[in-house]
Amino acid sequence: MTGATDEEGLAMDIYTEPDGSPDTLASLGPLAPLAGVREGIGGTDVHPVVEGTEQNTFHERYELQPIDRQTNGPQLFYGLRYHTHIVKPGAVETFHDQVGYWLWEPATREITFTLSIPRGQVLLANGPATPDATEIEVTATLGTEVYGILSNPFLQTNFRTTRFRMRVTINADGTWSYDEETMLEITGRSEQFSHRDVNTLTRVDLARPNPLACVAPSVDTPRILSE
């Protein structure tokens, strides 16, 4: 494998890291409106059951907190670490639990989304966006070496996820909504199943500044907290 080169064939520097901004909340581009603690009580989930299809409503608490800037050599990300916890109305037992990151890469104007669930599945999704975008869509596909999907043997055999799509809409009232679709190949069924989740999330608490922003002299922390 040869090293990375520029347009003139000269070796590129893949090690030097950019300085970037210490203030993640001010550098998140289209992800900025997502930050903070959010709740939604009107979520809808459509999933497969032995009889065919079942639909449930759910309550969700989605926390997104800024992390310090991240680099891969010259590649620079600003991001939010998230945890979403979902229960059925009036229930205590977890219906769905998920952690991961939302990442914004200003140089390429791309969003990267990671997902990990405690049923043995992870994925890495990606999509384009402009800094002021009010709609974001990320996708992942089974079998690719980048932006793909990995599952444990049981899920891979019986409920194989072939494609993932998540569309986020930033609403004028300060809420944001998502429409998530997971395409499944299920043992015993001839057609793929569209597993859908939708919800609208309202902010109930502000995001905390990332650790570096709290100590950087050039960052106005009180401004961040009052946004």
What are the backbone angles phi and psi of residue 105, rounded to the nearest 5°?
A: -110, 100
Report which secondary-structure segment, H or E, holds 222. helix 221-226
| Per-domain boundaries in the chain | 29-226
40 alpha carbon, distance to own chain's centre = 17
Question: By the 8 A CB rule, do 96 and 117 touch?
Answer: yes
Render pLDDT for 11-38 as a digit per residue (tens, 0 to 9). 789 999 999 999 999 999 999 999 999 9
At the fourth CATH level, which superfamily is domain 29-226? Calycin beta-barrel core domain (2.40.128.20)
**HEC states along 172-189?**
CCCCEEEEEEEEEEECCC
Question: By the 8 A CB rule, do 43 and 86 touch?
Answer: yes
Render pLDDT for 43-91 as a digit per residue (tens, 0 to 9). 999 999 999 999 999 999 999 999 999 999 999 999 999 999 999 999 9
